[in-house]
Amino acid sequence: MISILAAPTNLGLRPPEPGAVPGTAKAPEALRDAGLYRRLIALGAADAGVVLPGRYLDDVEVGAPRARNQKAIVEHAIRLAARIGDELNQSRTP
């Protein structure tokens, strides 16, 4: 069985303009609103929920390391990996 695990994030992205936040994190909800989740659930997929990211900051001005929001990206990846592991342990493919 497959599972649907949303992991919305803007972490690591450059803002579209100063003071703005990228809109990439809206993609999972847009797909849900478009009916994709409902159709997949009807076909037998399980809804595995959402892994929320840390807060997005345009940290380039504060001497960020190589990637924007590097620490938050690593933390998000660790949480996501744990949730993927949980899904696999339940014999589901996220």
**Per-domain residue ranges of the chain:** 3-11+21-89
Q: For residue 54, what pLDDT is reported? A: 87
Q: To the nearest 10°, report the CA torsion of 29, 33, 37, 39.
A: -170
Of 4-8, 49-53, 65-69, 74-78, where does mean pLDDT reach its minimum?
65-69
Query: Tens digits of per-residue pLDDT, 23-68?
Result: 999 999 999 999 999 999 999 999 999 999 988 877 665 565 577 8
Select from 77, 19, 80 the least CA-distant residue to 69: 77
Question: What is the pLDDT, as a whole number, of residue 61?
Answer: 57
The pTM assigned to this predicted structure is 0.83
